[in-house]
Amino acid sequence: MRREFLAVRNRLTADDLRETSAALAGRALELPELARAGTVAAYVSVGSEPGTLALLDALRARGVRVLLPALLPDNDLDWGVYEGEGSLARVQHGGRMALFEPAGERLGPDAVTTADAVLLPGLAVDARGMRLGRGGGSYDRVLARLERAGARPALVVLLYDSEVVEHVPEEPHDRPVHAVVTPSGVRRFGPET
């Protein structure tokens, strides 16, 4: 299933990516959860992922503290503050895709528990709000950390329209998200956050 979603993403053109990035940022910025957030944990999109830079810059311009992940050797995530595109470092992690991570001070894996909203990457989300990630487990750890800390941020996935599907496989540790934002709109799951 992951291979199929990645294959579709890999067929997107640079124009497709630009257009969907702008539309995605516009939709996400309309979310009440982001409008009232003081801190948002997010990520920098890479490759053909739905674009996040426009959204990160718009959140920062609103005065929101934006936390970005840095991948640790065990696939857990540390966090740092986003200070603009110039504050990002391109980091190659073994044979995997290079990631853009915050170049400044690291705040520790628990920093995510201070977020009012967490923007999660994914490949798909289903009608129940279950997210299909890339399979590395980094965000499963983030969600477990939030649960252990009693933190209840809004959990939002950024996807393309075709990636909202009827059903994705689910493991016992998986947790549903509250909303998915696509270029054409927002879909919510469960009670309002």
On whether 138 is known to bind a ligand per the annotation, the reply is: yes
Answer yes or no: is 160 a known binding residue: no
Residue 145 assigned as binding residue:
no
3-state secondary structure string across the chain: CHHHHHHHHHCCCHHHHHHHHHHHHHHHHCCHHHHCCCEEECCCCCCCCCCCHHHHHHHHHCCCEEEEEEECCCCCEEEEECCCHHHEEEECCCCCCCEEEECCCCCCHHHHHHCCEEEECCCEEECCCEEECCCCCHHHHHHHHHHHHCCCCEEEEECCHHHEECCCCCCCCCCECCEEEECCEEEECCCCC
> Could you tell me if 92 and 116 are in contact, meaning their C-beta atoms sit under 8 angstroms apart?
no
Q: Is 137 annotated as a binding residue?
A: yes
148 is in an annotated binding site: no
| 175 marked ligand binding residue | no
Q: 129: annotated binding-site residue?
A: no
Binding-site positions for substrate read: 44, 49
Binding-site positions for ATP read: 131-139
Binding-site positions read: 44, 49, 131-139
